[in-house]
Amino acid sequence: MQMKIADRLQHTEEYYFSKKLTEIAELNKNGAVVINLGIGSPDLQPPTVVIDTLIAEIQNPASHSYQKYNGIPELRSAIAKWYLQEYAVELDPEKEILPLIGSKEGIMHVCMTYLQTGDEALVPNPGYPTYVSAVQLSGATPVAYDLSAANKWFPDLEQLKQRDLSKVKLMWINYPHMPSGAKASRQFFVELIEFAREHEILICHDNPYSFILNDERISILSIPGSKEVAIELNSFSKTFNMAGWRLGMLLGAKERISEVLRFKSNMDSGMLYPLQVAASRALSIGPEWYQNLNKAYGSRREKVYELLSLLNCKYDKDQVGMFVWARIADSYKDAYQLSDQVLSDARVFITPGGIFGSQGKNYIRISLCASEQTLDEAIKRIKAVI
């Protein structure tokens, strides 16, 4: 029997990394030992106290029932304290915070809450591919805005103002930016809030990388008046090495949280109670956690710089986050060619920037989620084949 898939999937392909991991698994099955430097999945352990909390709570027979859709009060209060301490943002834990089963889930929920056929959403190019796919799945049309090194990977707001924005309902932004590692500034956020207010656009800021190799953490919600036109997503995945735990959060005005909850409550359920208690504990960890985490990533980044230099790539040392973004040599047609060559010859996988949009076609991205020993081995292999 042949089944016709829904129209909403006609322009939505399988996620690039899903397909690439299958290819790498096949290579390994046939005897290759591929070093994967492509995906930002932390290899370091979550905080010990968080794991201990999970173990203790999960042994409680009362911990396995359904939970409220908007999370336990303990978690929402912990998020509010964390945002006040780390970002100087005041949030009402009862009305302005929504725990999520990962921030990727939140991207879909936001799009399904506000977008429909005939609407448009601005998405960054290059940017996280999920923004495009979530907009498409909602029935709306993604409209790319180009980012470039010449403009420090910021959108040109004056250029955007010249477009027809009458159908645009929301705009996805992400700083520190993935994949370029560009850092936001308060002045940029001020200008962005004014742009959103002028054109009645909801700004959706995806902010999972602000603690990684970044000395200045900024939330868009710290800008006066921002809650009128902006919401923010954040995550435990990178900051606390809890990617597989699927824990995130949505922050914003009570009206926005209530609206998204209307959709979310019809799509999933509350997270496991022990997970929420453990997440609450993570948010109370002191600054030494972040210092040690960034010490490890800083050492790894130096190794990645060495690897990129071997490939004659150019990179900006001012970038932050858990990846390094680099421009390839002009001798390559595009980054796909370089990525495929390195995988074929050295059995090392690095991400071609083209998967993040056309503006990334001449760039590659390397993850810092690999040990120094693994990076040394990758360097050794590449030296042997260049």
Residue type, 130: T
Residue ranges of domains in the chain, CATH in brackets: 7-45+287-385 (3.90.1150.10), 48-282 (3.40.640.10)
Can you tell me which residue has the tokens 């902006």? 230
pLDDT of residue 12: 60
Instruction: Going residue by residue through the chain, which has 386 residues, state the pLDDT in tens, using 9 for 90 and above.
Output: 788 878 777 666 566 667 777 888 888 888 889 999 998 899 999 999 999 999 999 999 999 999 999 999 999 999 999 999 999 999 999 999 999 999 999 999 999 999 999 999 999 999 999 999 999 999 999 999 999 999 999 999 999 999 999 999 999 999 999 999 999 999 999 999 999 999 999 999 999 999 999 999 999 999 999 999 999 999 999 999 999 999 999 999 999 999 999 999 999 999 999 999 999 999 999 999 999 999 999 999 999 999 999 999 999 999 999 999 999 999 999 999 999 999 999 999 999 999 999 999 999 999 999 999 999 999 999 999 98
pLDDT of residue 26: 86
DSSP codes, 58-78 = HTSGGGSS---TT--HHHHHH
Q: Are 120 and 131 in contact (CB under 8 A)?
A: no
Distances from the Cα of 232 to the Cα of 91, 179, 221, angstroms:
12, 18, 7
Distances from the Cα of 173 to the Cα of 147, 266, 344, 362, angstroms:
11, 26, 35, 22
